[in-house]
Amino acid sequence: MSDVFDPSTVRYRIIFNPKSGHAPRNAKLRREAVAFLERERLQGDIVDTTHPHHATELAKNAIAEGCDVVVAMGGDGTLNEVARAVTNTSAILGLIPCGSGNGLGRHLGLPNGGSASLRVLRKATVRTIDTGVANGLPFFNVMGVGFDAEISSQFNRLTKRGFLAYVRTGLRTWMKYQPQDYAIRNGTRQLALPAFVIAVANSDQYGNDCFIAPGAKVDDGLLDLTAIRPFGNLGLLPLATQLFRRTVQQSPHVESLKGDHFLIERSEAGPIHTDGEVHHTDATVEVSIKPQSLRVLVPA
């Protein structure tokens, strides 16, 4: 669902995370954003985050102050913090993706950083999308357990990020990670299996065009679960290739389910991630969808 958008009638608040992705490049983008607002004569300003979860606080303040469009300028973590404040409000979420993966931004067709992403603030339509919740924790792109959560935990500790850093971290973690046993239910099917990764996706990809749920849509009222069974050393390269070719569901190591809710049970409490942010939760993980709960600016 899309709505008409008139930038001359709205007030913007851009929330910038100076630590997202490639920080020196993003500092330049921040300056470009200030100049863009002035040049295009748009009503708005930019505020910076200074600590974890600050973006949520800033987004709530923006809405309380009457801002119509609240823009997340950062990576998937910044998106998550801003979007959780905007969900189920009259405000609209804007995205200037400049993190390491930018999964939701890529899925929505948003340019990845730079002046092109700023132009979307001026020439856009409003699309209403679904959002997800895992044990009460909102997510907007992908949540996961298993290796997903472990690699997110390791990656978040790095001071220098990016695609290559993610690959290096993933390979180091993969060499020592032990798959776990899971039971999965979605109301119509049940699975019991050892799994390396269980990802529940709203969009079709993690980011960097790595497609964990090819065919997933953010506005169909459904979530897409992908479970990857243990695949051994020889299975790594074929599986990685399929992820980038949008054919992972063809792998003999993969099970796929669709549904508006999932119950994932494991042997003990442990980490999960929501859009790359890691949390420690119960052994049972309940995942559900909130249909048509977030309005987002997308290219016109």
What's the pLDDT score for residue 56? 98
Q: Taking residues 12-34, what's their average pLDDT?
A: 83
Least confident range from 9-23, 129-143, 179-193: namely 9-23
- What CATH code would you report for 137-290? 2.60.200.40
Q: Where are the domains of the chain?
A: 2-132+295-299, 137-290
Residue 1, pLDDT > 60, answer no
- Cα→Cα distances 51→141, 161, 236, Å: 22, 18, 37
**How far is the C-alpha of 33 from the C-alpha of 119, rounded, in Å?**
10
Of 4-13, 100-109, 169-178, 233-242, where does mean pLDDT reach its minimum?
A: 169-178
Average the pLDDT over 161-169 and give the result. 61
DSSP state of 169: H
Condensed to tens digits (0 to 9), the pLDDT of residues 170-202 reads 667 666 778 899 999 998 899 999 999 999 999
User: Mean pLDDT across the chain, nearest whole number?
Assistant: 90
CA distance 83 to 94: 9
- Mean pLDDT along residues 54-62: 98
Question: Residue 205, exposed/middle/buried by CB under 10 A (0-12, 13-18, 19+)?
Answer: buried
For residue 295, give the amino acid letter: R
Q: What is the mean pLDDT of residues 129-156?
A: 88
For the stretch 67-89, pLDDT in tens is 999 999 988 889 999 999 999 99
Q: For residue 26, is pLDDT > 80?
A: no
| Longest CA–CA separation in the chain, Å | 57
For the record, the structure tokens of 43 come out as 């009503």
pLDDT on residue 24:
63
Residues with Cβ < 8 Å from 7, sequence gap 6 or more? 40, 42, 121, 122, 123, 124
Per-residue pLDDT reduced to its tens digit, 274-291: 998 899 999 999 999 999
Confidence (pLDDT) at 164: 64
pTM, two decimals, is: 0.90
Q: Which residue has the tokens 């856009």?
A: 124
* CATH 3.40.50.10330 matches 2-132+295-299: yes
pLDDT-derived band at 21 (thresholds 50, 70, 90) equals low
The pLDDT assigned to 99 comes to: 75
Query: SS3 letters for 238-260?
Result: HHHHHHHCCCHHHCCCEEEEEEC
Q: b/e per residue, 103-113, with b = 16+ CB within 10 A? A: bbbbbbebbbb
> What amino acid occupies position 173?
T
φ, ψ of residue 91 to 5 degrees: the values are -75, 165
Average pLDDT over residues 148-165: 63
How far the first Cα of the chain sits from its last, in Å, is 13
Pseudo-torsion of CA 146, 148, 153, 157, nearest 10°?
150
So what's the pLDDT on residue 153?
63
Of the candidates 186, 178, 198, the one whose C-alpha atom is nearest the C-alpha of residue 260 is 186
Q: Where do the DSSP E strands lie in the chain?
A: 2-3, 11-16, 43-48, 69-74, 92-97, 124-134, 137-139, 142-146, 180-185, 190-195, 197-201, 223-228, 254-259, 261-265, 270-274, 277-281, 284-299
Task: Provide the pLDDT confidence category of residue 154 given band limits of 50, 70 and 90.
Answer: low
Q: By three-state DSSP, how is residue 3 classified?
A: strand
Q: Is the pLDDT reported for residue 157 higher than 60?
A: no
Percent of the chain clearing pLDDT 70 (strictly above)? 89
Say how far apart CA 291 and CA 65 lie, in whole Å.
27
